[in-house]
Structures are given as structure tokens and as C-alpha cells.
Amino acid sequence: MVEEIKDLDTISPQRGVTVTSLIHYAIQIISNFDSESVKDLEIFGVDIDTTKENNLVSISVNNKGNFMLKPIMILELYNDLGEQVYRTEIPYQKVYPGFCKLFELSINDVPKGTYNGIIVADCGDENIYGINIEIDVPEPKTKI
């Protein structure tokens, strides 16, 4: 986006507050090509991030196809008996062809322990991608 911005008037200062409002306009063009659409999403990185206020599972995905994908990221964790102990998801976010995106899912409500789980990226129709994981959930952070 390109726009012209007025210079600030520093010659005649006044008491009080001056508010200046700028409105930005943008146009996004998404097109389809005549070639066959290839939908290919790769989950290439899964980490637990404990450096922030919440314990998060960070999932890195790469759109290796030539079609925009809108995955819903789902995390399910299971105990040693195969019982589901946790499930969470993030509503869809666009991932453009040739680009990567980081999804972060909170696991603060999960008790400390080691879990088997699955991460699913549901892109709609028959485009579902997933991986099996084993993660060690650290002690949940307490708020002071």
C-alpha cells in the first residue's frame, strides 16, 4: 500500500491532544489457474513452547501445492489406556501456495505427563493431513 502522509506541524504547537485519522485501503487478488489444482500441505515442525504465559504446541505447516488451503488445526491427546484426555482446535487460517504458517494451540489445561496424540489439518473436502506425536507436557503455569 502506498499513501501520502501530511507532515506534522511542529511550528505552532498547541495545548491539548490532536488526533489524526488515516484510512487504509487494500485489494487482494486471488486467482485460479487453468492447470490442475494440487493441494499438498506438509506439517514439518511440532514444538512445545513454554516461554510464554501459556504452554503452547507450535505447529509449522508448509503449503507445497498450487492452491490456497484453509486448514482447521486439531490436536488430540490420549493417555496410556487410549482414552482421549484433551482436544482443541483453531478455526481455519489461510495458507497460500509456497508459504509457511505457524499455528499455536494452548495446552495449559492438560495435566503434566507424557501423551500420545495426533495433529490433524482439515482443509475441507477430502484434504486431511495429519501426524502422530508423543509429547511431554510440562507443569501448567499458574497465574499470580
The string of pLDDT tens digits covering residues 64-74 is: 988 889 999 99
Identity at 97, one-letter amino acid code: P
Mean pLDDT value across the chain: 84
DSSP 8-class letter at 95: B
Q: List, in order, residues 6 or more apart from 86 with CB less than 8 Å away.
A: 75, 76, 77, 107, 109, 110, 115
At 5-50, the pLDDT tens digits run: 666 666 766 777 767 666 777 777 777 666 677 889 999 999 988 7
- 106-113 average pLDDT score: 88
* Res. 80: pLDDT tops 70: yes
Note the pTM of the prediction, 2 decimals.
0.71
Partners of 116 in the β-ladder: 78, 134
**Residue with more model confidence, 96 or 30:** 96
High-pLDDT (> 70) share of the chain, %: 80
How far is residue 111 CA from its own chain's centroid? 23
* Res. 109: pLDDT tops 80: yes
High-pLDDT (> 90) share of the chain, %: 44
Q: Sketch the domain layout of the chain as residue ranges.
A: 41-137
Task: List C-alpha distances in Å: 5 to 8, 18, 65, 92, 141.
Answer: 9, 16, 39, 35, 45
Q: What is the pLDDT of residue 100?
A: 94
* Res. 85: pLDDT tops 70: yes
Domain 41-137 adopts which CATH fold?
Immunoglobulin-like (2.60.40)
Q: How far apart are CA 82 and CA 35, in angstroms?
A: 44
